[in-house]
Amino acid sequence: MNILILMGSPRLGGNTAELCKPLMGELERLGAEVCYLTLADKKIQPCRGCYACQDVAGEYGCVQKDDMEAVVERIRWADCLVLATPIYSWYCTAPMKAVLDRHYGLNKFYGSAEGSLWAGKSVAILATHGYDRAYATEPFETGVRRLCDHSGLSYLGLYSVRDEDNLASFRTAEAQEGARLFARRLMASMEARNQLRGLLDPEGRLTGFPAKRRKKVYALFYLAEKLEQGRAYTERELGQALLQWHTFSDPATLRRELYDSFFLDRDPQGRVYRLTEPQPDPRALGI
């Protein structure tokens, strides 16, 4: 698998770069080909909103000839994009925002050209921040989720570490093992699509629940990534969310399987469900 890490920090040796190290090491250990691309040393202009790219079929087609063309080449090469960024003012950095705004040429939705140059790829977030995770990262994560929905991309989740002691915060055993676990989860989530290829309809819904344990675990990884980290779901809300991602109308079985395999936690009364933090290690589940 080809994984592109877009590193958006203006500090090329700072906190975010430090957190990328164990992530990259684990991805490479698992057999992924990783490209680490820094944005702070690139010239990437803001989107002009001219729509010229929308009339260029089969290629990016932006009229601005800057380093975004090289970024796009790597985006098209990748199976998964990891957006690595510190959180400034509740969103990503300016270089990362410029890249995200310039996505237009990858989606041919608004002119004579048609199709997409990146639909079907996966996206994840690696973030560093000062405030509590949910308060700091939710605006950016919401924006990325909506971009994925709009562009036909699969959102695979977020891993972040809070800055409490500058670089020391990102060199702790807990922070580095968390990054390695995130790498294992990314690889499992991407492999799930290969394992479930015959069980997904054109809208990405499961048409059946696998009987074999290994494939069942991949199905649970796939379903868990459709739920929002940190959100409290009532049993009814959880059922509604799961109904969107399968066709055989059995959210009760899927909810039970997710709980029994430690993807979900619930309150003592069994009324409120949340994704566990952290999510299960694929190795503990046999994949």
According to CATH, the topology of domain 2-185 is: Rossmann fold (3.40.50)
**What's the whole-model pTM score?**
0.93
> Which of these, 181, 189, 160, 178, lies nearest to 29 by C-alpha position?
181
- Give 154's strand partners: 122
pLDDT(230) > 90: no
Q: How are beta strands 80-86 and 122-129 bridged, if at all?
A: parallel
Q: Which helix (H) or strand (E) holds 4?
A: strand 2-7
Query: Residue 23: what pLDDT?
Result: 98
Q: How many CA atoms lie within 13 A of 204 on its CB side?
A: 16
Architecture of the 196-285 domain: Orthogonal Bundle (1.10)
Topology alike, domains 2-185 and 196-285:
no
Give tens-digit pLDDT for 107-164: 999 999 999 999 999 999 999 999 999 999 999 999 999 999 999 999 999 999 999 9
- Check pLDDT > 90 for residue 270: no
Per-domain boundaries in the chain: 2-185, 196-285
Q: 214 φ, ψ to 5°? A: -60, -45
